[in-house]
Amino acid sequence: MIAGVERISLKEHFDERGTFSKTFDVDISNHLQFFPKEVFYTKSRRNVFRGLHMQVEPHAANKIIHVVDGSVREFLVDLRPNSETYLDYLELGLSSEEKEVLFIPKGIAHGYLCLTSPTLVMYMMDAPFCEECDSGISYKSIEVLQNVNPSSIIMSYRDSNLEVIKLKT
């Protein structure tokens, strides 16, 4: 695990109409000391890769992400120089079936590969988006992704040209 990353189970209620899920509340906010400034979502299809992104100082941001529909393979890289898990990476599965959110602290780059069509991912950030602070690293920095055929995944020009860095193995 990467220091500070948390998976948080959600409360869900079922009845004959379907489900009702609470994705955020004051208990989560207080537990994480997380106070959202922006909420947005992405809708993607299978084989889309987004990332690995983060927002740096002076507007670094903690994030909570939630897979509302579909499933992803999530990749996290710790880029905090003073962290005990600096340059470690974590790979995990997230899906709408799991009913949880993922808390990602400042200084951790994250990205994901969409495994389903459609995939809907909601983000909450505790700092507003700042284009000058928007940063990232290449998916090729992660060993398990180095041999992925670029033509088999769909990504933005920007994401496909991010810097490759050396991580711990």
Active site residues: 53, 123
Distance CA 118, CA 132 (A): 30
For residue 131, the SS3 value is helix
| Residue type for position 131 | E
Among residues 76, 68, 77, 155, the alpha carbon closest in space to that of 116 is found at 68
Structure tokens at 26: 């004051």
Half-sphere exposure of 82 (CA within 13 A, CB side): 1
Distance CA 11, CA 13 (A): 7
| Residue type for position 95 | S
The secondary structure element, H or E, covering residue 28 is helix 26-32
